[in-house]
Structure formats: structure tokens, C-alpha cells
Amino acid sequence: MDIEDEAKQHFSVLHVACPYCGTTMSGEVHKTAEAFSYAAEIKDGREPWFGLELWFLTSFQGKPVWSLNREHLAYLIDYLSADLREKPLGIPRKTQADHLPTFMKTAKNRERIVKLLKKMQGE
């Protein structure tokens, strides 16, 4: 699990509550300097952890369009629908949007991609 909240990155033990049942579990925090990419691990329409078929998977002009979950799908819709897509200020880091394929970010395709994503969201 990645810990994005910098206030929690200083603890040696982290307590995490299940969003469904509320059960809390504790785990040791091990800091690593390892970079990884989810996109590089998604192959043949399957997620990388269990090899399960992606639920949110379709294609646009022969290219795969996918989402890992509903939150990821909502992020894609919000980002591609925005009139102004700004990079966050501060330390220059790559954002999730930087890893999107160019065909999704191209102005001529965005509206059709968003329509496709919204269709997936309704399913």
C-alpha cells in the first residue's frame, strides 16, 4: 500500500480500516525507494495482482481503454472532461495523467473517450 498522506509516512506502524466492514488492521511501514508502474503490468486485459479480467475494459479505434476500478474511472472522466488540465505546483513529479496514452488526451478524441468512459461507468 502506498502512503500518500505525508503526515502518516513518519510512523513505523500504520493502522488501516477496511472501508466495507470497519475492521482495523495494523502493519509495519517499510520505506522503499522503488518506482513502479501499474500500466506496464496490465497485459491482455488483466489486472496485475490476481490476473483477473478487467471489468472496465473497452476499445477506442482499436486501442484498449481501461480502468482499474470505479474511482479510477471517475478520475479519468474528470480529468479528460476538464476545460483546463493543470499540473500541480511544487516538486516536479509525474502525475497519473502523464501516463495516459496520447490518443486519450488529444483534443479531437477527448469528447468521444469521455462518452465511452461514461458508458462504462453506467454498466
Where are the chain's structural domains? 39-122
Please state, in angstroms and rounded to a whole number, the distance separating the CA atoms of residues 33 and 91.
17
Mean pLDDT estimate for the chain: 79
How sure is the predictor about 84, in pLDDT bands with cuts at 50, 70 and 90? Answer: confident
pLDDT tens per residue, range 44-82: 778 777 778 888 889 899 888 888 889 989 999 999 998
pTM for this predicted structure: 0.59
